[in-house]
């Protein structure tokens, strides 16, 4: 069945499927990486303009407002794309279209519920900050403004539709357009000499707009009657149609919640235990280093559906080959980025955000190293999810997160923002070791089809 360029039918033939997946995977990685590179370049230009408008202290306030919203979104959203892709990869759309829409409705409701919860918690924390810590009413108002963007986050179901349809070029294009719109708005604010309020307003509006555009284009890929059928679909009985989907969704979400807590609240911890200026320097280093992390996330986005299909076909050798190739690619890319930052990081930061942010350079070097180690495990994480072993992933994330929080508070009090980076290094080391151990065990016990294993 082909509806609007959408095709989803699982057929596992021997060598032909493997070659097709490899060819499609390379094209998908290329589209996502080029789109991600352009998006991140535009985003870094936006951040550079913001940093030049603000000194480190007000930029630290700006960074902490964004960090609070992003932390609540990542901690409370269900990341519905994970269970949707894992279950959707097994659906034959020609014979079971009703199950596909039931699955998408389930994911959409998860997105809405997670967005409302994130908005409620972020708003509550902002008000508590005013009552308990005497944070200025103006900054609380800015935080409440940005928190409204959390109510419109439907990106989980949109991501699942795009990736199941193989529309990676569309994902890349939408990301680039949204980043370009934000850059143009920030450039206008820079010319006009805007302040913190205008910048928060720009981030809020562009985030809401990006979510709606993403959802609107994803809906166009649905089989007819499309959006109307999605509205009519009922999520009741989802557990009987897809056994274990709730367990997988909750387990994967909990592990991602723990993971995101360490990755999202670090800026808030630095601002709390040090000062807003330190948080600003730390955030600059973090935003640049996240260029590397985003590449790992996008490559994982490509290999996860393929690994799910290969695992469903019982093809052990193909599964291991994809994992090894992807991990080597990510490790080599991360190493190149680390060396580049080591040698040209200081002039790059001075040119991009100005000399008053030069203190971010040592932070950036250590951040890139931590991110490189973390990113190198992206394919292993996708492999565990494809094998349905979210329990082992949860154990690994719990160990990483515990180590991070045990280290970050005393280290930040002792050596400032660099302490948060060292805590991330500890997180990354435990992450790599844990993933390697559990993935080898999961592969050894999985029910592979030996007849087609090669």
Which residue did the predictor score with more confidence, 428 or 287? Answer: 428
pLDDT > 50? residue 216: yes
pLDDT > 80? residue 355: no
* CA dist., res. 107 & res. 249, Å (int): 10
Tell me the per-residue pLDDT of 391-445, one tens digit each, with 9 for 90 and over: 888 889 899 999 999 999 999 999 988 999 999 999 999 999 999 899 999 898 8
pLDDT of res. 31 = 57
Tell me the per-residue pLDDT of 387-402, one tens digit each, with 9 for 90 and over: 888 788 888 989 999 9
Tell me the per-residue pLDDT of 20-66, one tens digit each, with 9 for 90 and over: 444 555 566 665 666 666 777 787 788 888 888 887 888 888 988 99
pTM for the structure as a whole: 0.73
pLDDT of res. 35 = 63
- Alpha carbon separation from 316 to 41, 88, 196, 303 (Å, rounded): 38, 21, 53, 15
* CA dist., res. 86 & res. 238, Å (int): 14
Which residue did the predictor score with more confidence, 282 or 253? Answer: 282
Report phi then psi at 389, rounded to 5.
-100, 55
Which residue did the predictor score with more confidence, 239 or 123? Answer: 123
Which residue did the predictor score with more confidence, 357 or 198? Answer: 198
Q: How confident is the model at residue 450 (pLDDT cuts 50, 70, 90)?
A: low
Give the total number of structural domains in the chain: 1
pLDDT of res. 20 = 43
Mean pLDDT of the chain: 81
Which residue did the predictor score with more confidence, 115 or 29? Answer: 115
- Our measurement of the distance from residue 376's CA atom to the centroid of its chain's CA atoms, rounded to an integer in Å, reads 15
Q: Average pLDDT for residues 323-331, to the nearest whole number?
A: 84
- Within a domain: 1: no
- Within a domain: 450: no
% of residues, the chain, pLDDT over 70: 87
**Do 319 and 443 form a contact (C-beta atoms < 8 A)?**
yes
- Within a domain: 127: yes
Of 109-113, 188-192, 383-387, the range with the highest mean pLDDT is 188-192
- Within a domain: 8: no
Q: How confident is the model at residue 146 (pLDDT cuts 50, 70, 90)?
A: very high
Q: How confident is the model at residue 15 (pLDDT cuts 50, 70, 90)?
A: very low
Secondary structure of the chain in HEC code, one letter for each residue: CCECCECCCCCCCHHHHHHHHHHHHHHHHHHHHHHHHHHHHHHHHHHHHHHHHCCHHHHHHHHHHHHHHHHHHHHHCCCCHHHHHHHHCCCCCCCCHHHHHHHHHHHHHHHHHHHHHHHHHHHHHHHHHHHHHCCCHHHHHHHHHHHHHHHHCCHHHHHHHHHHCCCHHHHHHHHHHHHHHHHHHHHHHHHHCCCHHHHHHHHHHHHHHHHHHHHHHHHCCCCCCCHHHHHHCCCCCHHHHCCCHHHHHHHHHHHHHHHHHHHHCHHHHHHHHCCHHHHHHHHHHHHHHHHHHHHHHHHHHHHHHHHHHHHHHCCHHHHHHHHHHHHHHHHHHHHHHHHHHHHHHHHHHHHHHCHHHCCHHHHHHHHHHHHHHHHCCHHHHHHHHHCCCHHHHHHHHHHHHHHHHHHHHHHHHHHCHHHHHHHHHHHHHHHHHHHHHHHHHHHHHCCCCCCCCC
Q: Average pLDDT for residues 289-313, to the nearest whole number?
A: 75
Which residue range is the domain that position 253 belongs to? 14-445
- Within a domain: 451: no
Of 76-80, 175-179, 205-209, the range with the highest mean pLDDT is 205-209
pLDDT > 80? residue 156: yes
pLDDT of res. 453 = 46
pLDDT of res. 24 = 56
pLDDT > 70? residue 11: no
Q: Average pLDDT for residues 158-180, to the nearest whole number?
A: 80
% of residues, the chain, pLDDT over 90: 20
Which residue did the predictor score with more confidence, 84 or 256? Answer: 84
pLDDT of res. 18 = 47
- Within a domain: 121: yes
pLDDT > 50? residue 241: yes
pLDDT > 60? residue 170: yes
pLDDT of res. 176 = 84
pLDDT of res. 123 = 93
- Within a domain: 87: yes
pLDDT > 90? residue 145: yes
- Within a domain: 2: no
């Amino acid at each position: 069945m082909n509806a609007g360029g959408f095709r989803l039918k699982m057929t596992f033939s021997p060598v032909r499927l493997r070659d097709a997946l490899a060819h499609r995977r390379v094209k998908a990685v290329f589209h996502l990486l080029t789109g991600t590179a352009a998006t991140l370049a535009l985003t870094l230009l936006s951040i550079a303009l913001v940093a030049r408008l603000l000194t480190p202290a007000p930029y630290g306030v700006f960074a902490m407002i964004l960090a609070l919203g992003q932390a609540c979104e990542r901690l409370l959203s269900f990341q519905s794309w994970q269970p949707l892709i894992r279950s959707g990869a097994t659906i034959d759309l020609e014979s079971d279209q009703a199950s596909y829409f039931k699955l998408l409705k389930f994911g959409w409701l998860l997105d809405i519920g997670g967005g409302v919860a994130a908005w409620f918690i972020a708003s509550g924390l902002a008000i508590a900050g005013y009552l308990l810590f005497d944070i200025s009413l103006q900054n609380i108002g800015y935080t409440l403004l940005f928190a409204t963007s959390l109510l419109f986050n439907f990106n989980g179901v949109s991501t699942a539709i795009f990736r199941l349809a193989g529309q990676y070029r569309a994902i890349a294009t939408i990301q680039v357009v949204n980043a370009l719109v934000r850059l143009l708005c920030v450039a206008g604010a820079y010319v006009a000499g805007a302040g913190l309020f205008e910048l928060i307003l720009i981030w809020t509006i562009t985030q809401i707009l990006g979510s709606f555009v993403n959802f609107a284009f994803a809906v166009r890929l649905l089989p007819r009657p499309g959006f109307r059928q999605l509205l009519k679909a009922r999520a009741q009985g989802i557990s009987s149609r897809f056994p274990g989907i709730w367990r997988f969704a909750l387990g994967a979400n909990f592990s991602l919640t723990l993971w995101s807590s360490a990755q999202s609240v670090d800026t808030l911890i630095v601002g709390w235990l040090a000062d807003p200026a330190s948080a600003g320097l730390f955030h600059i280093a973090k935003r640049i280093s996240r260029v590397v992390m985003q590449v790992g996330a996008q490559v994982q986005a490509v290999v996860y559906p393929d690994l799910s299909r290969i695992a469903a076909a019982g093809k052990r050798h193909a599964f291991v080959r994809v994992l090894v190739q992807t991990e080597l690619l990510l490790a080599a890319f991360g190493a190149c980025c680390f060396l580049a930052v080591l040698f040209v990081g200081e002039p790059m930061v001075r040119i991009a955000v100005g000399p008053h942010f030069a203190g971010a350079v040592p932070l950036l070097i250590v951040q890139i190293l931590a991110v490189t180690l973390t990113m190198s495990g992206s394919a292993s994480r996708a492999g565990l999810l494809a094998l349905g072993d979210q329990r082992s992933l949860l154990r690994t994330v719990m160990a990483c997160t515990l180590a991070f929080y045990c280290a970050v508070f005393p280290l930040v009090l002792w050596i400032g923002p660099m302490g948060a980076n060292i805590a991330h290094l500890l997180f990354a080391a435990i992450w790599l070791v844990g993933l390697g151990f559990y993935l080898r065990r999961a592969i050894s016990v999985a029910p592979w089809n030996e007849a087609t294993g090669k």
